[in-house]
A and B are shown apart, each in its own frame.
Chain A
Amino acid sequence: MSFQAGQKIRVIVVDDEDLSRQILREFLSAHSEIEIVTECANGFEIVKAAAELKPDLIFLDIQMPKLDGFEVVELLGQDVAVIFVTAYDSYAIRAFEVHAIDYLLKPVSSVRFEAALERAKERLAGKLPATPLPPMELAAAARPPSRYLDRIPVREGTSVFIIPIAKLDYAEAQDDYVALFSAGKTHLKQQTLASLEASLDPSRFLRIHRSYIVNLERVAKVEPYGKDTYVAVLSTGAQLPVSRAGHSRLREFLGR
């Protein structure tokens, strides 16, 4: 995206504390080229507002009700520039790994704020390169090492679904998306199966096929299907193809 002169930068300020939004509002009010399109107080609100209002720049708190800042970035993707604002310095590395434009620490100084805003404008004007990595890879980088997901947020239109990891039956690769099957419903998420696999606990989830990851707790039985191929029957009744490599991995896990 690039900006023509005279065009206003659409900004959303997100923080669950009124006073934190207030100070950002005050700093932003000095800039006539900025338009605050709305303010949000939690993760769900910003995902909905971003889908409806298409902001250029978001000032984002990290610890908020419903969804935290990193989950919000994961759902919004890279169409929007993000500046994190938080009291915690421990997220800084991860914030830059998800290619946040800047990371402001509370209490926010106006000098740091102006510098961050300047960087944001450069990025929006196309002077700074957009992030080279797709958002899911960024979100995976944002996860602390050795910790696996315990829930998967999924955006559908303006609403957000949270799939607790124990409720995920299996995942299927569908072009640029993965289809997540949970509790009789299917949710589509823009992500590669490989990056999903990397974020799941390998003692609970197994890649049984090029296109399938299964929750091991759901596997009821494994039956031969054709020459060198098998089919896994889940307790939900679903039948998934199992590749030869997937079958040997599965056998290892099921101890047969």
Chain B
Amino acid sequence: MHPILSQFRRLALYLIAWIPLAALLAYILATSGGATWRDAAALAVPLCLVYAFVCLSAWYSCRVTPLEESSFSKLLGTHFAGALVASGLWLLVARILASELSETQSFRGLDRRLIPQLPLIFGTGVLLYLLSVAFYYVLLAVEASREAEARVLQASMLAREAELKALKAQVNPHFLFNSLNSISALTSSDPAKAREMCILLGDFLRRTLGLGEKSSIPLEEEMSLIRAFLSVEKIRFGSRIQMEENIDPEALAAQVPPLLLQPLVENAVVHGIANLVEGGRIRLDAHCTDGNLSIIVENTFDPDAPPRRTGGVGLANVRQRLQARCGNRASFNATTDNDMFRVALSLPVENTAERSPERKERVS
């Protein structure tokens, strides 16, 4: 589609841009001898109107000879040939117009007066054509860069969507392996406890699987998921885990993205408690103020713990999800203070009634 012909507004702007060019042509014709000002104006205006449309054709030759892919000689050949043809055509129109005008009383003899000006008109025609070639190349470049930008944006959107989908379905497999190992140990020493752990683990897994369908859940549901997770971990770590909750009753109903806090608590266990010989404490605070839900998850940790050789993406994922969902209205800060690691986040409170459950494509 021609970028100028496709929209009426653009065509109007384009023709307006030719007005100064017509004035310039009139000025050149009038000052270079022969023609009078009246002659010049009578010729320049219709000539430029015609040539404005002739120059629109330069778009097509620019399209078929892209700047980066064409050789220099091809570019030069194509556009000079185009310029000569266009300008020759223009010259013909000028001569016809002049001879037609000569028929009238007021422009008698214009065709003769125009003869010495013809090379000038031809030269101007060539230059104007080449100018429009340059203009179209700029236009093409701008368009190409816009398209590239849009592609990059779309690619990053797709990547984020895929990531979110993966995150929702994610249960840390090492949590499973360690839990199964504990169950395996308990089967001989304490079968009742082994059974209890199987049930707790099943409960936790079922809850996380169900969450993939939802775009948000009440904080209360996330908390019961966290409790299910910790009750499994407590069998593994025994008295080393202590959990403290301090949750505003109002906050319990607030909607949050599913599995937003569980990774933070898991992080607190894996990077905090697991490195402490005597164990440690996790504390979760949540309260609502001015339409915002503020949550703090903090845990004790060993600043001299061995550097972890794997992992460390849990926090980054939570931060990304918050940002993808709420943008600047959400905040996420992770800080350390002596032996205390703290994640403070806040997000706008969502009303339960407003959100319909996210539609999910079915694969099977």
Contact = CB atoms under 8 A, between A and B. Distances in A.
Asked whether A and B interact, the reply is yes
Interface of A: 16-20, 22-23, 26, 41-43, 62-68, 70-71, 87-88, 90-91, 105-108, 144, 150-151, 162
Nearest to B182: A19
A67 B235 CA distance: 23
B306 interface: yes
B306 A19 contact: no
Contact of B309 (A16, A91, A106, A151): A91
Interface size class of B (residues with CB under 8 A): 20 to 34
Given A19-B186, A87-B177, 11 more contacts: A16-B277, A17-B236, A19-B185, A26-B185, A63-B308, A65-B275, A65-B277, A66-B304, A68-B309, A87-B174, A106-B177
B274 A65 contact: yes
Contact of B177 (A19, A68, A105, A144): A105
A26 B186 CA distance: 11
A14 to B, nearest CB: 13
B185 A22 contact: yes
5 contacts: A64-B275, A65-B276, A65-B305, A144-B309, A151-B306
Secondary structure class of chain B's binding surface, majority of residues: helix
A19 B181 contact: yes
Contacts of A20: 178, 181-182, 185
Contact of A107 (B184, B238, B276, B277): B184
Interface centre among B184, B185, B238, B276 (most CB of A within 10 A): B185
A64 B178 CA distance: 13
B181 A43 contact: no
B7 interface: no
Contact of A26 (B178, B188, B302, B308): B188
B310 interface: yes
A23 B187 CA distance: 10
Contact of A18 (B238, B304, B308): B238
Q: Which 5 interchain pairs have the tightest Cβ spacing?
A: A106-B181, A23-B185, A87-B177, A68-B306, A107-B181
B280 to A, nearest CB: 10
A107 B306 contact: no
B237 interface: yes
A22 B238 contact: no
Interface in B256-280: 274-277
Contacts of A162: 304
